[in-house]
Amino acid sequence: MPAEQPHHRTRRDGQATHYPYLPDAPHFIEQAVQVYLRLSDDGTHWIVDGPTVDGAPLDSALHDESAANDECACGRPDDCTALRAAADRIPLPTGAELAELLRDALPE
């Protein structure tokens, strides 16, 4: 049995684990969010700080806060720009929603 390739593991949500950088793949539209941490009261480890779990959408970690498609390999810029604009109208996840998204991204 061949060694398991990280790109071929199955996520719980059925999405591809990584973007394949192929022209016929779905568009690669990215965002990133900030998860604020603070040092635990006993000073021994990091904990998630209150602003991350206050119920509001997380802050974007991208410089202009907009979704990015710079690495999309589609070669269809009009399509790609329209989808990126649509993605910018989708609220970023709250902390609780991010916890679910992380769970969904883990291998089965």
Q: Which residues bind Zn ion (CB under 5 A)?
A: 27, 72, 74, 80
Q: How far is the CB of 18 from Zn ion (least distance, A)?
A: 16
Tokens describing residue 51: 């602003």
Residue closer to Zn ion by CB (options 35, 80) is 80
Tracing tokens 């916890």 back to the chain, one arrives at 99
* Residues 6 or more apart in contact with residue 9 via CB below 8 angstroms: 17, 107
Q: How far is the CB of 16 from Zn ion (least distance, A)?
A: 15
Residue closer to Zn ion by CB (options 82, 99) is 82
Residue closer to Zn ion by CB (options 67, 72) is 72
Q: How far is the CB of 87 from Zn ion (least distance, A)?
A: 11
Are 84 and 70 contacting, i.e. CB atoms less than 8 angstroms apart? no
Helices (H), ranges, the chain: 77-87, 95-105
